[in-house]
Amino acid sequence: MKGRKDIKVLIVDDSNMTRNYHAYILRSAGFKIGEASDGYEALEKLLTDEYDIVLSDINMPRMDGITFIKTVREQDDEKIREIPIIIISTEDEAEDKRKGFEAGCDFYIVKPVNPEKLVKSIEMLVKKRGGE
């Protein structure tokens, strides 16, 4: 299994403060971090760089998280199409969660995040994807 220092996480959120907070948690835990402020920027990063997992907000300008996830799941490149995606959102309604899972997210966390739960969720999904 990959060690934390080998896992690259893409954080997608239009809030600079939220991105910085999540990046701080994950860098402190030993992960490598990439950041994007919306779905368009995140998609561009996925197409030009390799990531092991994506954390995405739902409510963002230009391309929201649901559209972003659907777009990722429709990619021709299997490595991109199959990347684990965790939604991290303030939206706590069952309908929002249903939309997230229907779009193709692997896990749904409601803000504010529990740092330990976030780290464990990332490790679990990366390990599961690696087939270990």
pLDDT given at position 4: 85
Say which amino acid occupies 45: K
The rounded distance, in Å, linking the Cα atoms of 118 and 24 is 12
Pairing of strands 53-56, 32-36: unpaired
- Joined together, the tokens standing for residue 97 give 């969660």
User: Average of pLDDT values for 81-91?
Assistant: 96
- Write out the DSSP string of 2-25: --GGG-EEEEE-S-HHHHHHHHHH
pLDDT given at position 50: 95
The rounded distance, in Å, linking the Cα atoms of 65 and 40 is 10
Question: Domains of the chain by range and CATH?
Answer: 4-129 (3.40.50.2300)
pLDDT given at position 3: 76
pLDDT over threshold 60, residue 90: yes
SS3 90: coil
Report pLDDT digits (tens) over 35-70.
Answer: 999 999 999 999 999 999 999 999 999 999 999 999
